[in-house]
Amino acid sequence: MGYAIGVDVGGTFTDVVLNGPDGTIAVAKCLSTHDDPIAGILTGVTRALGSLDPARVTRVVHATTLATNAVLERKGARVAYVTTKGFRAVVPLGRYARVEEDRYDLRFTPPPPPVAPGDCFEVDERVSARGEILIPLDPASVRRAALEIARRGIASAAVCLLHSYAEPAHERRAAAILREHVPHVVTSSEVWPEIREYERATTTIMSAYVGPLMASYLTRLRERLAAIGISAPVHVMESGGGVVSAELAARRAVATIESGPAAGVLAAAMAGPPDVISFDMGGTTAKACVVRGGRPEITHEFHVGGKGSFG
């Protein structure tokens, strides 16, 4: 068995843990490098390795707040939203409900929608809630949207067609056409194939928003690890506590929004006491989680990016 490396990059510190096959552990902590986060990772990895041959590393697991900070700091990509004809207003209109702390604020100003109304595009198709194809997808309408998206210089698109959770064929075909002109395309049937159009759309848009950043980052990380002799596969912690390949993390980037905090929660759950409160305070955000009976509590819906009407 080889060595495993765990990496956590926060707003202030980058932590690296090297775990050997015999249970030995080496730890390194260094300052995060905001202009180039990978430089901080390589510094920590080099310190943790010491005199160990990098080729003996067989696994790298990475928890990161990259997606979180991109959302909070509004540093994601410009996104085009592609949906079924007649439903382009679903996202700009949003939900009537406010988040709890703003419910009675008479001066409340709703946040801007996650995608500009002018960047919403419609295509001809219709699928029923049972997955029946009522109107076949018109490839020409998708191609027109793709050409306009490319003309505007938009590099990321979110595809969320009506009831695609029941029948994703139209979304997959539309995505294939869009990818001929748009570098990064995300479909709701892959990201969050669930009922509720607004929530599914905003989740998909958020994934398209942080996806290009995550894809570029993970590609560069693997290249620079390989340059120092580590060719092991890179896995990324997801918000639910599992790990996925770097390739899947780039396609489902929204699932890494709580990557860093999720890793801390799992560590707290494994610390021993069955009932604990996990508190993770970094340089940008602070998160808390309740662990009951050794199992972290799980939510299937949460707000991202501060106050607002999303939800």
169-186 pLDDT, tens per residue?
999 999 999 999 999 999
What pLDDT, on a 0 to 100 scale, did the predictor assign at position 262?
Answer: 86
In sequence order, the 6+-apart residues with CB closer than 8 A to the CB of 226 are none
Task: Name the percent of the chain lying above pLDDT 70.
Answer: 95
Token digits of residue 268: 């707290």
> Nearest-CA neighbor of 60 among 255, 274, 288, 249?
249
What pLDDT, on a 0 to 100 scale, did the predictor assign at position 311?
Answer: 40
* Least confidently predicted of 151-155, 235-239, 264-268: 264-268
Are 264 and 278 in contact by the 8 Å Cβ rule? The answer is: yes
Residue 308 predicted with pLDDT over 70: no
Token digits of residue 155: 């590099």
Q: What are the extents of the domains in the chain?
A: 75-209
What pLDDT, on a 0 to 100 scale, did the predictor assign at position 282?
Answer: 76
CA–CA distance, 181 with 150 (Å, rounded to integer): 6
> Nearest-CA neighbor of 278 among 299, 296, 256?
296
Residue whose entry in the numeric block shows the structure tokens 């199992």: 295
> Nearest-CA neighbor of 114 among 218, 242, 208?
208
Give the helix/strand (H/E) hosting 158: strand 156-160
Residue 99 predicted with pLDDT over 70: no
In sequence order, the 6+-apart residues with CB closer than 8 A to the CB of 144 are none
Are 122 and 85 in contact by the 8 Å Cβ rule? The answer is: yes
Q: What is the mean pLDDT of residues 245-259?
A: 92
Question: pLDDT digits over 128-171, tens only?
Answer: 999 999 999 999 999 999 999 999 999 999 999 999 999 999 99
> Nearest-CA neighbor of 152 among 186, 115, 127?
115
What pLDDT, on a 0 to 100 scale, did the predictor assign at position 102?
Answer: 65
